Structure 1
Amino acid sequence: MRYTTHYESPLGLMLLAGDGEFLSGLWFVGQKYFAAGLCGEPLVNDELPAFAAARAWLDDYFAGRRPASAGLPLAPAGSSFRRAVWDLLREIPYGETTTYGELARQLAARLGRSAMSAQAVGGAVGHNPLTLIVPCHRVVGADGSLTGYAGGIERKRQLLGLEGVDMAGFYLPSQGTAL
C-alpha cells in the first residue's frame, strides 16, 4: 500500500510518499518528475511514523538546525546506479556544494572504473525522489552555474542560501533544462 501526506514548507507545498514504514518520496508540488514512481491512487495518511519523522526533519532543516538524515526510514526506488549516486549525494555536507563531474569521479572510483559520465550522474541526480533529504540541490555546474535542480533554480538558490553557502562564485544560467 502507498500513502501520501503534505508538508507546507517556506518554499512551497511538498508531497511525502511512503509504504507505511519507509519514506519513498519527497517532492515540491509541481516540480520536474513530481511524484515519479508513485503508482495508482495512494491513500492519504497524515499519522504515519515515517511521515512524522520526515516532518520533524523538515522543520529542523527550514529552521537552519542542520538535521542528520541517518536515522530517517528511507526507501527510494531506483536502479542500483541511481541509488549509488543518491548515496553520494547524502555525503555532501550541509552548507557545501560539489559538481556533477566530482560526483562522477567519486562514483567511478567506488565502482573501480577509470571514468564515469557526468551527464549520467546528472540524470540520476535529477531523478532523486527525496529532495532535500538527499541533497541534490548541493550539486552545481563546474562553471559555477546553479543548474539542474528539479525543484527550480530559484528554490535551489534559496536552499543554498538557507545553508549559508557563499553564493559569490555562482550564477543563474540564462537557459537550460532545469530553469
Structure 2
Amino acid sequence: MDRRPDGGLGDTGVFARRFDALGRAVEVGTASGRVISVSFPESPPADADGDHPLLDRIGEYLAGAEDDFADVEVAITVPTDQRAVLDAVRNVPYGESIDLARVTKMTAGLDHEDDADLDTARTALRSNPVPIVIPDHRISGAPGATPGPVADRLRDIEGVRDS
C-alpha cells in the first residue's frame, strides 16, 4: 500500500467510524496532517466525518492486517519526559508486550529502579493522547489511555501475551 510520508493524513478535523471488532467507534483528531488525538466513544459523534485514511488503516488492522502505524505523524502536547516515554512505546513491535520497567529502561533519562521515574512512565501511558498509534496496549503492568476492553481486544488481535 502506498502511503504519503505523513501516513496519508492530509486532512484536518475530527473523523470517526464505528468498528464491530471493538463494539464501539474510533475517533481521530488531526491537524495539518498529524494525529493529535485518538479516542473510543460508544458511537461516532454526529458531526464527525467517517472517511479518513487512518480509519481505513485501523479497520484493516482490526481485521488482522499487521500495522504498527510507525509512519503516522503525531503532534501531541505532553511534558518532555512523558513524550520520551511515549516515543519509546512506539518502538514496541506489533504482537509483542513489555512491562513498565522495560519501557522505563528504553527511555533516555529515566531509571527503571526509581519510583519517580516509574510514576512518570505510568503517567505518560495514562495520558497517551493517541492510543493505537502509540500502542499503550502493548505495555503490561500499567494502565494506558486505551480503555480496558479495547486494549484487551487489541492484544487479542495482535496475539500479544503479557510479558
Both structures adopt the same fold (TM-score exceeding 0.5) = yes
Q: Is the 8 A contact 1:24 1:130 kept in 2?
A: yes
1:7 aligns with 2:17: yes
Tell me the equivalent position of 2:152: 157
Cα deviation, 1:69-124, whole Å, max 9, x if unaligned, reads: 232232122121121111111111111101111111221xx237685521210110
CA shift for structure 1 position 166: 3.6
Q: 1:62 to 1:112 in 2, by over 3 A?
A: closer
8 Å CA contact 2:112, 2:118 repeated in 1: no
Partner SS state of residue 23, structure 1: strand
> Contact between 1:3 and 1:20, CA under 8 Å: does it hold in 2?
no
Paired amino acid for 2:109: L
| C-alpha distance in 1 between matches for 2:106 and 2:71 | 24
Stretches of structure 2 that go unaligned for 5 or more consecutive residues are 1-11
The equivalent of 2:6 in structure 1 is none
**Superposed structure 1 runs of 4+ greater than 4 Å apart:** 112-116
Q: Which amino acid aligns with 1:135?
A: P
The alignment yields a C-alpha RMSD, in angstroms, of: 2.5
In structure 1, how many angstroms separate the alpha carbons of the residues matched to 2:82 and 2:38? 16
Instruction: Specify the alignment match of 1:129 in structure 2.
Output: 129
- Residue identity opposite 2:130 in structure 1: L
- The match for 2:41 is 29
Residue in 1 that maps onto 2:83: 83
1:127-175 Cα distance to aligned partner (Å, 9 max, x none): 111111110011111xxxxx513333222222111111246x8xxxxxx
Corresponding residue number in structure 2 for 1:41: none
Name structure 1 gaps, 5 residues minimum: 31-43, 142-146, 170-179
CA gap of 1:154–1:112, structure 2 versus 1, over 3 A, is: closer
In the superposition, relative to structure 1, how do residues 62 and 84 fare at CA in structure 2: closer, same or farther (>3 Å)? same
Select 2:49's aligned residue among 46, 49, 58.
46
Structure 1 length as normaliser, TM-score? 0.69
Aligned residue pairs, count: 144
Q: Percent identity?
A: 20
Query: Partners of 1:114 and 1:150 in 2: how far apart?
Result: 21
TM score, norm. by length of structure 2: 0.75
What CA distance in whole angstroms lies between the structure 2 residues aligned with 1:160 and 1:58? 14
SS at match of 2:36: strand
